[in-house]
Structure formats: C-alpha cells, structure tokens
Chains A and B, each alone.
Chain A
Amino acid sequence: MEIVSLKKALLVAFIVTFIGGCSTTDTENESSVSGGGAGANEGTSTTTVAIDPNDNISSRSISEAEQARLEAQAREAEAMARLEAMGRIVYFEFDKSTLLPEARAILNAHAERLKSTGGRIVLEGHADERGTREYNLALGERRAQSVQSYLAIQGVPRSRLETVSYGEEKPLEYGPGEARWSKNRRVEIRY
C-alpha cells in the first residue's frame, strides 16, 4: 500500500517535473512553470549566456563558435533530461525529515551533475497542511537540510546548496487526503 502510493508519487513527480521542464532560476512560482520543451530551453539558455563573452573575444569564426555552443547546449540538455527522468522532487513521511531510500538515487544523480557543472542550487522544503504553519515552516527547513547534508556527503560543497522553506504555504496539490498530502511533503531541487 505504502510502496504503491510512493511509486505513484514518484510517477507523478516525474510527470510534473517532465511536463514542467526546468524552471528558470528567477522564478519559483509554480504557475509560471509551463510549456514542456520551452522550460528545458530556458534552463540551458542560462549556460549559453555564460559562454557568450567567449564568442565575442574568440578569433574563431562565428560558425565554429556557434557549433561549439550548440554542442554544449546539446550535452547540457542531455544531462538535464537524465535528471528530469530521475526527478527533481524527493518526498518525505509525515512529520519526518529523514530521507527515504527512493530519494537517494535521485539525489545521487543530482550530486553527479552538480560536481561536474558547478553553480548553485536552491533546495526548497515543503510540508503538508496538517499541523501549525510556523512549525511546518521549521519542518520544511529540516527536510531541505536533510537533502543539503546528503548532497554535501556526496561531495557537493555546502556553499553551493542553499535551503529555503515554504512550509505548507506552497502546496503542489490543494485539499485534504493522504494522496495530496504525500505530494506536498517534499523538497524541490531548483537549478
């Protein structure tokens, strides 16, 4: 029963993250995450901007630079797709902040990517609506810190892992019932 619902939750997480694509770093609003492939392009466009200055000072022809840029973009897209397949959300049990076994595989994939690419990520902790709001804010932070510690143990510097808790203020699904609550007890990994 529990395993089935967890599998379901992971499946939904996968669908949510896949459809949602990678949100840009400057927006954490759920409603703004939309439009399938557009999201993934937005995610990689951040990297494109970073190598643009090299284009300007490079002696290579525009077409060569462009080709390199496209290749990098493709590699990045592939890496992101692998991550999306794993998921960007890990789930927790009620009133708990300890990682579930399912979370480790997901976090390992993110740890690998982070070690190879650099950059900062935000670990966004959430809680379900049961219990008081301020206590849930603290619980959401605990969950984000669990993920932070795990990633740090995998070799990602803590300085690159920021945590923020929204408590029960930003549910993925509104309304009562364990099916919804289980999706809201989560940490979202945001690049």
Chain B
Amino acid sequence: MIGIALFQGNLIHQIARRVTALNVRVLLSLLLWFGNISSSYAGLMIEITQGVDNPVSVAVVPFAWQGYGLLKEDVAAIIAADLERSGQFKALPREDMLAHPHKQADVHFSEWRTDYLLVGQVKPGTGNGQYEIKVELFDVFNRKRLAHEVMLSGIGQLRRAAHHISDLVYEKLTGYKGVFSTRLLYVSVMKGEKEPYRLNLSDVDGHGEMSVFRSAEPIMSPVWAPNGEEIAYVSFETKRPAIYRHTLATGKREKLTGFPGLNSSPAWSPDGQSMAMVLSKDGNPEVYVMNLKNKRLRRITNHFSIDTEPSWMPDGKSIIFTSSRGGKPQIYQVNLASNWIERLTFEGEYNARSRVLPDGKGIVFVHRRDGVYHIATQEVNSGELRVLTETELDESPSVAPNGSILMYATQVRGGQGILGAVSLDGKVKYRLPSGKGDVREPAWSPYFQ
C-alpha cells in the first residue's frame, strides 16, 4: 500500500520542546469550529472544541497533480485537517497563501509567515494503479528543509497516504509518533432498525465508516488484538452473552466462551497469547485469563464482590481491574505471578473501567464526583488524580497508541451517545458526533505494521 522510498532528516527535539512550551495555559473557550467533513457514509464528524493556547502554524499547500483527470482526494486538505484535529497546529487558510509551490525550487520563504510549510506533488506511479507522492517540509524561520519523502500509494489508498504524511509531519515537529493512520472500533445503535446493534470501524477522523458485525441483540466491550488484525467483543446474539474473536480481514468469527452467567470484558494480553476476561460461571464475577492456544482458563481473582473490567499492564505481568470488595467500585492491581492484590484508587466513591497508558506510568478510568461521571487519569507512582472531562455520563476511555490522547463515550443533550476525545494533558478536546444513532464504546487501534 504505502512504501517509503526515501527518508531524510532527523527528529528536531528543539522543536518538540518549543511545541511543549507553548502548551502552557488551558484554553477554556471554543477555539475552532470544524464544519462538515464527513464521508459519504454519514458516519462520524469532527468538531474541535478546544486546542492549545498558541498552536504552531503550518501552511499545507495544495498538492500538484501531474496526471490526467481529477484526483479523488485533496491530500493537502486531509493533512491540514489531521494536524488541526491534534489541537497543536493551526493550518493557514488557502486564500491567505500568496503562492502555491510544489517543490523546494519554487519555495520563497519571504512569502510565508507560518512556522512551517509543507509542499507536495502527486503523479501516476510507474507501477499499475499507483501514485507516487513527494512531500517536503520546511522550517520557515530558519529557511531550512526538515524532511523530504517519496512514497507510493494505491489508487484507493490516497486518504491513507495523506494520514501517513500527517503522521510523519507530526512526529517531525513534536517528537511524538502520530496516530492519524490508526483506526477506531466502536458500537453504534440505530434504534428501530432490524439489526440495531453494530460494531463499526472507521479512520480516526471518522471517515470510511463500515460495519464489521450487525446484530438484533446487544454488542459490548470491543477490543483490539495487539497486532491490529483481530478484535474481540461480547455479543448477545444467542440471547446470552458470549465472547467472540473476529479476524477483520476474513470476517472469520470464533466463540471463545459461552459459559452460564457473565462472559464479559475481554482484554488481549500485550503479547497476544492470552486474553483476560470476566466470567461468573462459578457464581460470582471474577477475572480469568484464557490461554488462546489451548483455551485453558486460569482464575485470577476470588472474592464475593464484583470483580470486572480487566486491563493489562504493558509488561504483561499484572492486570488492573475494578472491584467492589471495598464496598464501592475502585481500581485494583493484581500481580499474575504472586496473585498479590493492591488497591490503586482512593479518591472518590466510584472509579471503574480503567485502561493503562502505553508507557504503563498512568491509568485512565471513569471517576464519579458529586454524582457525575467524568474521565480521570492517575499517575501510578504518585497516585495523583486529574479529571480530564467536564461533560456528564462520560465512560469507556480508550487511549491512542502514542499515549497523547484518549477517546471516550459521552452524551449530548437529548441523550444521544457520541464520542469525544481529550488529550492526556487536558488541553486538546474534540468530539465526533455521529450523523445517526448512538455511538459508544470506542476502542482505539494499535499502530498497524
């Protein structure tokens, strides 16, 4: 699909520091309203509700097309929208561009007042059904080329190629890996339809929405395998809950459990070899780990209270989970070698459905405060808790693989379920309202190989 033929230039850590230094104050007002850039599927749209105080400005010049007819996608517009959605960048409007250079020889730095400039061109590739895309990124102030890329894209993969370029630009300018090429899995409910429950997949900008699975009965708890090729979820299609494993490329499904009682909360281990889950076959909701090769189960918790919502630490050596053993739901950690259990959350009367940040240094979870449900994050070592959202009934946080931002489910007035995103530093916020139906339980994919 996309192959990088050439890569030049190093990470600019100086710029990374500069971007971070700009994120000083929390901006409370609405920064930007982003109109309808939804796909023809009328799926999710993006509304940026809060960005950083002084976003880095970047000009993404419309790419030149050196072939016949019209290009299907406006690659530069997709990149500009990606960068703006991160909340850390402000794209220069096209009408404010004095020139439209496509390569270094045409660039006159005096014509640009943005911090950075991205130019590019697309031409038919040498292979059949391919495009060749060349991009160049410049530091305007220092009049310097930062990166030069040539990549190949399948004809139908232009959007993906654009997201890939966004990832490269983001990494070059911030020092952090971009997540514009990753995908979202979520549950959508279209009330009144014959199969109202859908498991949908889309790009992280909401484009390219498609249903992976539809059912007349509820679908819950979608999660990704660490390789990004498989997913797991709970389906009530037999009128009883069961955990299914589903290969995305082939659509092949395997029922992993269908025990009496709960079959809930699947969570793939970081090495992909086992799956944590919640079963109540022994009378009480407990966390188990299934070896996915031989399907053997190992019981991890043993308590008469509710134990549920397991999530793996990145080293695979311990699992964090929700338990009501202290009277109210709180987050606990269990060491898989010793079965030693430690309580992690103490602030607030309700902390549940935690997920671990990719570096293992923090967790995110649903936190109830004054009867209202927010998404909060807590450092594992210091135990310091910060509330990230101010909407009500926020739930199901899922962290992007670069650990910079998380997606969660919330409701708008009238009760429609929508997805929202908030950066882990709380400074960037955007929402993905759906054209139709209730959307919930987002699961952010890992990086794809």
Does B bind A? yes
List chain A positions with a Cβ less than 8 A from chain B.
Answer: 28-29, 31, 129-135, 137-139, 141-142, 162-167, 169-170, 174-176
The residue of chain A having its C-beta at the shortest distance from the C-beta of B441 within the complex is: A133
Interface string of B234-264 (1 = CB under 8 A from A): 0010011100000000000000000011101
Closest chain-A Cβ to B211's Cβ sits at a distance in Å of 18
**Least Cβ–Cβ distance between B188 and chain A, in angstroms:** 13
In-complex Cβ contact of A175 among B216, B220, B396, B414 (8 A): B414
The residues of A that contact B333 with a CB separation of less than 8 Å are none
Q: List 27 A-B contacts (CB under 8 A).
A: A129-B393, A131-B366, A132-B309, A132-B329, A132-B352, A132-B395, A132-B396, A133-B353, A133-B395, A133-B441, A134-B265, A134-B278, A134-B309, A134-B353, A135-B309, A135-B329, A135-B353, A138-B262, A138-B306, A141-B280, A163-B261, A164-B239, A164-B240, A165-B241, A166-B236, A176-B392, A176-B393
B 366-398 binary contact with A (CB < 8 Å = 1; else 0): 101000010000000000000000001101100
Q: A78–B42 Cα gap in the complex (Å)?
A: 51
- With an 8 A cutoff between CB atoms, is B411 at the interface? yes
A174 CA to B437 CA, complexed, in Å:
13
Minimum CB–CB distance for B271 against chain A, Å = 23
Contact check: which of A29, A132, A138 meets B280 at CB < 8 Å?
Answer: A138
Which residues from A are CB-within-8-Å of B411? 176
User: A132 — which chain B residues lie within 8 A by C-beta?
Assistant: 309, 322, 329, 352-353, 366, 395-396
Chain A nearest CB, measured from B264 CB (Å): 5
Cβ-defined contact, B308 with A138, below 8 A: yes
B285 touches A138 (CB 8 A): yes
A174 closest partner in B (C-beta): B415
CA distance A165 to B217 in the complex (A): 13
Q: Which residues of A contact B216 (CB under 8 A)?
A: 29
Per the bound structure, the CA–CA distance linking A132 and B368 in Å amounts to 10
Find chain B residues with CB under 8 A from A165 CB: 241, 262
Q: Which of B118-142 contact A (CB under 8 A)?
A: none
CB pair B280–A169 under 8 Å, yes or no, is no
Ordered nearest first, which 8 A-B pairs have the shortest CB separation? A169-B218, A132-B353, A175-B415, A138-B306, A138-B285, A132-B352, A134-B265, A134-B309
B279 to A: closest C-beta gap in Å: 11
Q: Smallest Cβ distance from B325 to chain A, in angstroms?
A: 13
CB distance from B280 to the nearest CB of A (A): 6
Using a CB–CB cutoff of 8 Å, the interface residues on chain B facing chain A are 191-192, 216-218, 220-221, 236, 239-241, 260-262, 264-265, 278, 280, 285, 306, 308-309, 322, 329, 350, 352-353, 366, 368, 373, 392-393, 395-396, 411, 414-415, 441
Most chain B CB atoms below 10 A, which of A130, A138, A141:
A138
A130-B393 in contact (CB<8A):
yes
Cα-based distance from A167 to B396 in the complex (angstroms): 15
| A135 and B236 contact, Cβ closer than 8 Å, known pairs A129-B393, A130-B373, A176-B415 | no
With a CB–CB cut-off of 8 A, which chain A residues contact B262? 137-138, 141, 165
What are the residues of chain A within 8 A of B352 when measuring CB–CB? 131-132, 135
- CB contacts between A and B, total, < 8 Å: 84
B306 touches A139 (CB 8 A): yes
Interchain nearest-CB distance for B390 vs A (Å): 16
Q: Which residues of A contact B368 (CB under 8 A)?
A: 131
CA gap between A163 and B240 in the complex, in Å: 10
Shortest distance from the beta carbon of A121 to any chain B beta carbon, whole Å: 14
Rounded to whole angstroms, the CA-CA distance of A169 and B234 in the bound complex is 12
Q: A138-B262, A138-B306 are in contact. Are A133 and B285 (CB under 8 A)?
A: no
Residues of B within 8 A of A28 (CB): 239
Write the nearest CB–CB distance from A93 to chain B, whole angstroms: 14
Contact B218 A138 (CB under 8 A): no
Question: Which partner residue on chain B sits nearest A28 by CB separation?
Answer: B239
Question: CA of A176 to CA of B107 in the docked complex: distance in angstroms?
Answer: 56
- The reply to whether A169 and B236 form a contact with Cβ atoms under 8 Å apart is yes
List, in ascending order, chain B residues with CB within 8 A of A176's CB: 392-393, 411, 415
Q: Which residues of A contact B191 (CB under 8 A)?
A: 174
Q: In the complex, how many angstroms separate the beta carbon of B300 from the nearest chain A beta carbon? A: 15
The residue in B216, B240, B285, B392 that gathers the most chain A C-beta atoms within 10 A of its C-beta is B285
Provide the bound-state CA to CA distance between A139 and B191, in Å: 24
Give CA–CA (A131, B406) in the complex, Å: 19
Residues of B within 8 A of A31 (CB): 192
Q: Does B218 lie within 8 Å of A170, measured CB to CB?
A: yes
Q: Which residues of B contact A139 (CB under 8 A)?
A: 306
Report the separation of the CA atoms of residues A9 and B441 in the bound assembly, to the nearest whole angstrom. 30
Q: Known contacts A131-B395, A133-B221, A137-B262; can you find 5 more A-B pairs with CB under 8 A?
A: A28-B239, A131-B366, A138-B278, A141-B261, A176-B392
Cα–Cα distance between A59 and B285 once the two chains are bound (Å):
54
- Across-interface contacts of A29 in B (CB, < 8 A): 216-217
Cα–Cα, bound, A137→B216 (Å): 18
CA distance A87 to B322 in the complex (A): 34
Q: Quick one: which of A129, A134, A162 has the most chain B CB within 10 A?
A: A134
Are B218 and A135 touching (Cβ within 8 A)? no
- B residues in contact with A174, CB < 8 Å: 191, 415
- Nearest residue (CB) in A for B372 is A130
Chain B residues lying within 8 Å of A166, measured Cβ to Cβ, are: 218, 236
Contact A135 B261, CB 8 Å, known A130-B393, A170-B218, A175-B414:
no
> Within the complex, what minimum Cβ distance (angstroms) separates A59 from chain B?
41
Contacts of B239 in A (CB 8 A): 28, 164
Tell me if B236 and A138 are in contact (CB < 8 A): no
Residue of B nearest to A133 (CB): B220
Question: Measured between C-beta atoms, what is the minimum distance from B434 to chain A in Å?
Answer: 16
Q: Tell whether A134 pairs with B414 under 8 Å between CB atoms, given A28-B239, A129-B393.
A: no
Q: In the complex, what residues of A have CB within 8 A of residue B220's CB?
A: 133-134, 137, 167, 169
What residues of chain B lie closer than 8 Å to A175, measured between beta carbons?
414-415
Nearest CB in chain B: distance from A24 CB, A = 12
